[in-house]
Each structure stands twice: as structure tokens, then as C-alpha cells.
Amino acid sequence: MNAARIAPENRLVLDGDGTIESGRLAVEQVFMRDTLPTAFMCVNDATALGVMNGHAARGYDIPREFSVIGFDDVPQATYVKPALTTIRQPRSAIGKQAMASLLTMLKTPDQKPSAHLIMPDLIVRGSVSEPLSATSR
């Protein structure tokens, strides 16, 4: 949010348990506010699917009125309408790096383990678009 220059007073973080239902409940909580966000970045794809369901139940159009992005790239992400934009974790690269780190730690137990940054992939589908202006909502 810092990189996007979103002011702290315009940030909203809601707690949930990573389920479809918690995503739907998050939408209900958001609609109790005077100011609505333009986008929802969800902790996982299940939550994102719930957010999309919550908006559909209220008659809103994803992505025309709200953008939604998930995290994980579960198979169901391609079957919803619109297909869910998500962040895919490079599971093979994570596993290979974890194994290499474990083997290094076993060979040299006194050596402090090093951190590794493994970049995920942004999978662009249909659930994200430019935000509507506040006056057109």
C-alpha cells in the first residue's frame, strides 16, 4: 500500500479465517462503511471467491465496479465468472530451495541459514480492472 501511495487512513484490513464465508462476511463489513474501496486483495483464493460471491449477491459487477485478486491460484480460479486474477506461488522453486537449505544446515549446523526471495507469478485474468471514479458509483 505504501508503494501504491495509499494513505494510511484509506487502508482497510479485515480479519478472516481464509474461507469463502469469511470473504463474503468481509464484503458485508465493508458495506457498513461510508467510503468503499475499489479493490479487494485477499489472503487466498477461497477468500477472494467469497468476496466475489458477496458482491454478486448485492448486484455488483466484478471487475467493472470492484476489482478482486486472490493468492494461491487454485484450480477453481479459472472456472468462476469472471476468472479470478491471482498470485501463484512457485511451489517447485519453494520446495527445491527448502531442500537445499535443509541440506546446507545439516552439513554446516553452525552456519546461520540465509534468507531467499522467491518471486511469485501474477496470473492476470478477468477480476481486475481500472477503478470507476467515485462519482460514477
Per residue in 107-135, pLDDT (tens digit) is 998 888 788 899 999 999 999 999 876 44
pLDDT for 8 equals 84
Task: Measure the CA–CA gap between 4 and 13, rounded to whole angstroms.
Answer: 16
Q: How confident is the model at residue 137 (pLDDT cuts 50, 70, 90)?
A: very low
DSSP letters, 30-81, are HTTSSS--SEEE-SSHHHHHHHHHHHHHTTPPTTTT-EEEEES--GGGGTSS
pTM assigned to the model: 0.82
- Domains of the chain, residue spans: 8-89+120-131
Say whether pLDDT at 136 is over 60: no
Q: What is the pLDDT of residues 85-100, one digit of tens each?
A: 999 999 999 999 999 9
pLDDT, position 113? 79
**Tens of pLDDT, residues 26-81:** 999 999 988 888 899 999 999 999 999 999 999 999 999 999 999 999 999 999 99
Query: CATH: 3.40.350.10, 3.40.605.10, 3.40.50.2300, 3.60.20.10. Which one for 8-89+120-131?
Result: 3.40.50.2300
Q: Which three cell numbers stand for residue 5?
A: 501511495
